[in-house]
Structure 1
Amino acid sequence: MSGTTADEVLRDLRDEGEELDALVAPLAEGTGERWTAGTPAPGWTIAHQIAHLAWTDERALLAVREPRAFRREAEAAFTAPGAVGTYVDDGARRGAARPPGELLAAWRTGRRALAAALEESAARPVKHRIPWYGPPMSAAGMATARLMETWAHGEDVAEALGVRREPTERLRHVAWLGVRTRDFAHAVHGLESPAEPFRVELTPPGPGARTVWAYGPEEAPQRVTGPALDFCLLVAQRVHRDDTALLAEGADAERWLGVAQAFAGPPGAGRAAGTRGAGGPR
């Protein structure tokens, strides 16, 4: 990872999970009724959001420990008729049906096991690529993808609860992933990727930020600038392009912001314009 060690991203992945855990843990007490609160994702409750994270952590753990078994499972799932549209939802639905305390415990166990497996993988003298639903990645790359998912689904949970979470420096990993997946986002939308690199300059969260998170050559004519939070929300498809303060210079840069996607799988529906903070499609 550019400028980021595996230890750093694994530490931040743990912190991201703990922050979301602290938000949802009180909901699992008693009858756990608030777990059924709807989130911006149509048909998904808070329970579905946590179940999805638990399910994808389990799949990631399988990919790390038994890559051949993961490939067989993924191939079987996506070759079945209609599986592309139901595979992920089915995993979330099964998990959401579990009692709140049981689901919470499973998510905790799974994410900690995954973090330990990724730490072991990153420490190996011979690096290898971990298979996934998109391009294969390193241990640090997988940790970054899991951090992005945890943060994005945490935003959905916070919105359902009417809570505003303060953005942190951990967003630098999401921003990096958003930049790195530029060509992937074009490919899953059936578009040809731009031949030249872009310049991306993002203002980090927090008052009085003096540094800029910068990617790509300074002289690149295609440029994206603006708040890091807006960029991260966009690549996680938690906000519509029109509801951001991002500026694009160049037609290719503008087109990218319309299809940006940092997560694996087919193109997401994204959010409708004018729904920032008001719900919308996942």
Structure 2
Amino acid sequence: MADPTPVIDDLRAESEQLDLLVGELGEGRWALPTPAPRWTVAHQIAHLAWTDRAALLAVTDHDGFRGLVERALAAPDSFVDAGAEEGAALPPAELLARWREGRAALDRALRAAPPGARFPWYGPPMSAASLATARIMETWAHGQDIADALGVVREPTDRLRHVAWIGVRTRDFAFGTHGLAAPAEEFRVELTAPSGELWVHGPEGAAQRVSGPALDFCLLVTRRAHRDDLDVRADGRDADTWLDIAQTFAGPPGAGRPARTRGGDHQ
């Protein structure tokens, strides 16, 4: 059984990197709009604080988490936005403190989880490592929204391996969300990490293939950039379709980001 500690360590590091970006922001900059419609920088941090609390309940209070799921089912179109709105209405210092306290509590709970434990989530139950991986993906993706709002270019790290892994694992989900049958065969995905290492998923001889920089793949599957602006290549019709519809997050497909450039290489 794999030790989840390295994944939890990466979640802490990803959160701390984002904290450096927002920790010293003046109050007015918390109100800057981000690429997510109607969401400011404050909404993005409020959403992370809210989902950290949900994850903490999943680990420590199953009945409390069940109540969250029931409320989500009762208002599926407004549940996430309502949580972000509530947090964004707080003074920035209070919101920042709430986010820090919540993610620290989640960190402790994940590290104290019994080996092999699985926790309820909005989809299938998750292990401590899988839950931490999901939180890394969310923290990185919403951090990208904040970086874009602030005009900051973040230095990518090999923690992107977690985001890429979810991107690969959610292939069939993306097809299903669009009402398409998932391909029966595995795809080969070859990604160049920020460190230069090659990350590979799927059989070497697969007919359907995706390749490119890990950063670009992660921006694509989290729908933080348009495919035409990214250097991600598809070989094969099904792989090409996937790159148009890929998404790591639950819920219906969104519009995604508009393209900044044209003439992307869709093959």
Q: What TM bracket, shorter-length normalisation?
A: over 0.9
- 1:38-68 C-alpha deviation (Å, 9 max, x unpaired): 1111211110010000001011111111224
* Counterpart residue type for residue 162 of structure 1: G
Residue 106 of structure 1 corresponds to: 98
Q: TM-score, normalised by structure 1?
A: 0.88
2:213 aligned to which of 223, 227, 231: 227
* Counterpart residue type for residue 258 of structure 1: D
Residue 67 of structure 1 corresponds to: 62
Q: Secondary structure at the match of 1:135?
A: coil
- 1:164-217 C-alpha deviation (Å, 9 max, x unpaired): 1100011011111111111122222222111111100001115xx2x2100011
1:257 aligned to which of 243, 248, 252: 243
Could you tell me whether the CA contact under 8 Å between 1:188 and 1:267 is conserved in 2?
A: yes
Answer 1 or 2: higher relative contact order, Cα 8 Å, separation at least 6. 1
Residue 157 of structure 2 corresponds to: 168
Superposition map of 1:271-282 within 5 A? 271-274=257-260
| Residues 93 and 260 (structure 1), Cα distance of their counterparts in 2 relative to 1, 3 Å cut | same
Alpha-carbon distance between aligned partners in 2 of 1:129 and 1:183, rounded to the nearest angstrom = 22
Alpha-carbon distance between aligned partners in 1 of 2:124 and 2:235, rounded to the nearest angstrom = 28
Per the TM alignment, residue 239 of structure 1 is displaced from its structure 2 partner at its CA by 0.9
Per the TM alignment, residue 264 of structure 1 is displaced from its structure 2 partner at its CA by 2.2
Residue 21 of structure 1 corresponds to: 19
Per the TM alignment, residue 77 of structure 1 is displaced from its structure 2 partner at its CA by 2.3
Alpha-carbon distance between aligned partners in 1 of 2:77 and 2:23, rounded to the nearest angstrom = 30
Residue 182 of structure 2 corresponds to: 193
Alpha-carbon distance between aligned partners in 1 of 2:258 and 2:124, rounded to the nearest angstrom = 28
Alpha-carbon distance between aligned partners in 2 of 1:183 and 1:137, rounded to the nearest angstrom = 18
Do residues 53 (structure 1) and 48 (structure 2) align? Answer: yes
Alpha-carbon distance between aligned partners in 1 of 2:86 and 2:68, rounded to the nearest angstrom = 17
Structure 2 residue runs of 5 or longer lacking an equivalent are 263-267
Q: TM-score, normalised by structure 2?
A: 0.93
Per the TM alignment, residue 275 of structure 1 is displaced from its structure 2 partner at its CA by 7.1
| Number of aligned residues | 262
* Counterpart residue type for residue 12 of structure 2: R
Q: Secondary structure at the match of 2:212?
A: strand
1:248 aligned to which of 198, 219, 234: 234
Q: Secondary structure at the match of 1:248?
A: strand
CA RMSD of aligned residues (A): 1.7
Residue 28 of structure 2 corresponds to: 33
